[in-house]
Structure 1
Amino acid sequence: MTKLGAARARRRTLRLRALRLHPAQAVVVGFAAAILVGTFLLMLPIAKAGPGGAGFIEALFTATSAVCVTGLTVVDTLVYWTPFGQVVIMLLIQLGGLGIMIFASLIGLVLARKLSVRSRLNAAAEAKAVGLDDVRGLVRGIVLISLAIEAGTFVLLFLRFVFGYGYDVGQAAWYGAFHAVSAFNNAGFALYSDNLMGFVSDPWICLPIAAAIILGGLGFPVIMQLRKEFTKPLHWSMNTKLVLWGTVVLLVAGTVYITVIEWNNPATLGALDPAARVLTGFFHSVQTRTAGFNALDIGVMRDETWLGMDVLMFIGGGPAGTAGGIKVTTFAVLYFIMLTELRGEGAVNIFGKRLSRAVHRQAITVVLLAVAAVMVATVALMLISGEDLDRMLFEAISAFGTVGLSTGVTPGLPDPAKLVLVLLMFIGRLGPLTLGSAIALRERPLLYEYPKERPAIG
């Protein structure tokens, strides 16, 4: 090969490397592509009931909400979309819940029966895997776990719809499948105009859906470890222990908080018998973990309830799963950092293990970026819509946390405000740190260190 040919080959190799996406960038691009495809499909005339196709904003908002497994809607899912449109929404929910890179890896396994190094990197990045060992098993495990939990939820809902409400087999199967997928993926889409308010006191509907939401919100790493080592808690990782303890504490605290404050509210729990009040309080505590179904009218709840739900939605569920928010682990890490500082200890120790200092920086970064995103979006929503702080903060946190609960104002917001929520849902699903890493053009490791100095704190 001549020198000129070798130089051209090197330039071609460099161009190909420049076009190759970092795993974090691949995840962002994959979700964006899925949203665009979903928007196109929902704009087809066959997807919308009545003449013509859906408008761009309606299709974009719904596709983003489905892929980001949020559940916020600007149109009535039952009335506005045809069965074709509803199937598209369900598939987008499943795709977004599994993860774009996980789904792409699954296709690669089915077609080629192997994964390239690049595919393994992308799948591992999305699943928050520590290494590249057995990524193929990881992908298969995630898919099988998802389908198994959805199937179990489907069976329970199907039987209840048939024997409890007289649905025919076809209708019960469709409603059972849609709500099972929506529940496990923490999406909150429902095929009823009032969401699940018609089942407010029915434990045979509320509890299976709540169970699927909780399992989906644990995150795939936790579920997979519990599947292998359920009877060996000493072998559980710090991540698994933090997620399980955090989930139990937040579910109990949320149930008590919502039930107590709304107990005598005649527009919500006050109209139910005591057993149904506790059931509904628990159900809505589960929903704040990023699911978004509602069995009560959120818009008539007390302001104090909204504020508590804001906190629960902001925290969210477990990492590397279908939940959103800053994640339970991030919140727990900050709690233990604070506890360590108050005790005057040097290292942060959790469950008998020392926490890596790199995790301190990551947790603080995630929280600060999340607070900034929510605050900027809330101000923008208030300026655009003219609505008050309570409602706009609730909608912003619900979008960022990919929850889907709403005080009822989202459908009436101006289009620019809806686009703000679209961006928030996208950021919330991917995580501020992942999105920030994807936007960064290159890593710049420093080859030197500056001298240390301590500013005054507090």
Structure 2
Amino acid sequence: MSNDFDESFLNRKSSQGLSWWFANFSTGANERDKEGMRKARRIRRISLTDRLLNHPGRLSILYFLVLIVVVTGLLLLPISTRSWVFTNFPVAFFTAVSALSTCGIPVVNTGEYWSMFGQVVILLSIQFGGLGVMTFASMVALGASRRLKVSQRILTASELGTTKLSEIKSVLSVAIGTFVIAEVLTFALLLPELFRINNGQVGRTLWQALFYAVSAYNNTGFTPDATGLHINRWGVGLPILLSAFVGTLGFPVVLNVVQCAYRRISPKRWTLHTKLTLATTAILVVASLIWFLAVEWDNATLFPADDASMKLRRALSAAVMPRSAGFDISWVPDVSNETKVFMSLLMFIGAGSSSTAGGIRVTTFAVIVLICAASFTGHRDVTVFRRRIPRRIQMTAVSVTTACSALVLIGAVALMFVTGCDFVDAIFEASSAFSLGGYSVGVASAGNPASLFILSAEMIVGRLGPLTIAYSISRPMAPEPIRYPQENIIVG
């Protein structure tokens, strides 16, 4: 009978609720409850898998860091180089981060320095990095638990751009399918021209086509040939250009456009995200094309003595590539400082959300512009395409832009300290590393390890994303029982 009246924590199953009236007279009950809870906490053990799945942001960071360690270790081995020598750690580490982040800034010539084994390691790194840290981490979690937890699905939904948690699994499948289809098509389109370039060498042609196909869609500047200039030929450059451009749009846009086309739905019914991404991307590409044709027309490095059509193709490649893939960087150091600043802005903006490229994303930039427009015109709501953008999205855009601007500026100043370069080159290099653009003006060099580590840090944060890192270290927001009085301040 005594057990029936004992409603302490350890005896909660035996008690039948008969002693609720007796609780006020049982002076030892509370103490037993506390002791029981302490014992229960000591007994209970949470597995490492549960801890990681409860924090998907941390899982993604861990996944990325483990890959960096593995790839760096492989690139350090003599088998990874053509001359069978040990690669020094800064070069191997920088190359691993550059490949996994899909940035593609080469510190050594990929075709001449790395052996076939090393190039295969780089290619696999590009593929895993292009799939996305958050996407691959979600697949790992799905395979481990056979289901996605709510916290995991919410973060994956944000990464893939969908708003319905029930669609996450299908979107992950579509993302992988999009990768396969885009890379296979690019591979097939590259084969004929590369076969002619390589004088009928089948093995070399197949390898270069595969490398270019993976590198192009993942918006990575690594190239399998010694110079990377094969893309100046229409048969190679055009498929790479189209693949890289599709890769910049992001899974949500590609999925939405394909679904609407398959169902014969008018573009007017595209999602707001798709409309805003395509409209902003078109404006940026046209503005870039006009800039390069107007400002760099007399640049003999970018526009050698070619006909008008070839100059137009070169200008189009220069207009599209800086926001995503750094193919053919031979002309970059010879452009004017004004163009370097303009390219830095393009790289900082980057490509579409949930794409293989980086930057603050074109939708973030568009929201910032719309906020300014609404403020200047005295409108309370921020609207576009007859839709109102939620205040939460506005605050996120402002926060991401501010944090990323500070990151790029800090990186540029650090590069100036360790290399002695001027501000224009430093801001260009920092913007390229953060946005995973892949272009370089020569600030990063194997002879200056400090510059490699600075740019590696920029690439890691650019790949993981400020929001992912903030999510991984953040705690649940505490309720605000008190709201203080509002008072205006003077700004501006």
Category of TM-score, reference length = shorter chain? over 0.9
In the TM superposition, what whole-angstrom CA distance separates every residue of 1:185-215 from its partner, at most 9, and x where no partner exists?
A: 111111123223x442x22211110111111
The 3 A distance-change label for structure 1 pair 389 and 34 is: same
Aligned 8 A contact 2:231 2:240 in 1: no
Partner of 2:124: 91
Identify which range, 63-72 or 99-108, moves more after superposition: 99-108
Instruction: Return 5+ residue gaps in structure 2 as ranges.
Output: 1-8, 12-34
Superposed CA offset, 1:429-448 (max 9, x none) = 12222222323355444333
Task: State which of 27, 35, 38 in structure 1 corresponds to 2:68.
Answer: 35
Shift of the 295–411 alpha-carbon distance from structure 1 to 2, 3 Å rule, reads closer
Whichever residue aligns with residue 115 of structure 1, its letter is R
Alignment check: 8 A CA contact 1:385 1:413 kept: no
Compare 88-97 and 114-123 and name the one that shifted more.
114-123
Q: 77-86 or 164-173, which moves further after superposition?
A: 164-173
- Partner of residue 325 from structure 1, selected from 355, 359, 370: 359
Unpaired runs of 5+ residues, structure 1, are none
Contact 1:262 1:270 in 2 (8 A): no
Equivalent-residue separation in structure 2 for 1:44 and 1:442 (angstroms):
44
Q: Does 1:433 align with 2:467?
A: yes
Classify 1:433/1:182 alpha carbon distance in 2 versus 1 (closer, same or farther; 3 Å): same
Bigger drift between 428-437 and 170-179 goes to 428-437
Quote the offset at 1:421 in angstroms: 0.3
- TM-score, with length taken from structure 2: 0.87
Distance 1:101 1:436, change over 3 A: closer
Select which of 206, 209, 228 maps to 2:259. 228
With normalisation by structure 1, the TM-score equals 0.93
Question: Is 2:338 aligned against 1:304?
Answer: yes
Q: CA RMSD in A?
A: 2.3
Q: Tell me if 1:355 matches 2:389.
A: yes
1:28-67 map, 5 Å = 28-67=61-100
Return the alpha-carbon distance in structure 2 between the equivalents of residues 421 and 295 of structure 1: 17
Match for residue 438 of structure 2? 404
Counterpart check, 1:206 vs 2:240 = no
CA contact 1:48–1:81 (8 Å) conserved in 2: yes
Superposition deviation, residue 398 in structure 1: 0.2
Which deviates more from structure 2 when the two are superposed, residues 432-441 or residues 300-309? 432-441
How far did 1:7 drift? 4.5
Any conservation in 1 of the 2:52–2:59 contact (CA below 8 Å)? Answer: no
- Give the deviation of 1:457 after TM superposition: 2.5
Once the 2 structures are TM-superposed, how far is the Cα of residue 56 of structure 1 from its aligned partner? Answer: 1.6
Distance in structure 2 (CA, Å) of the matches to 1:71 and 1:89: 10
**Where does residue 252 of structure 1 map in the other structure?**
286
Compared with structure 1, are the counterparts of its residues 79 and 441 closer, same or farther at alpha carbon in structure 2 (3 Å cutoff)?
farther
What residue in structure 2 maps to residue 115 of structure 1?
147
Shift, 1:237, TM fit? 1.3
Aligned residue runs from structure 1 range 60-75, under 5 A:
60-75=93-108
Whether the aligned pair in 1 keeps the contact of 2:79 and 2:117 (CA below 8 Å) is: yes
What does residue 6 of structure 2 align with? none
Q: Which structure would you say has the larger Rg?
A: 2
1:142 paired with 2:172, answer: no
Aligned to 1:158: 191
Q: Distance in 2 between matches of 1:21 and 1:114?
A: 15
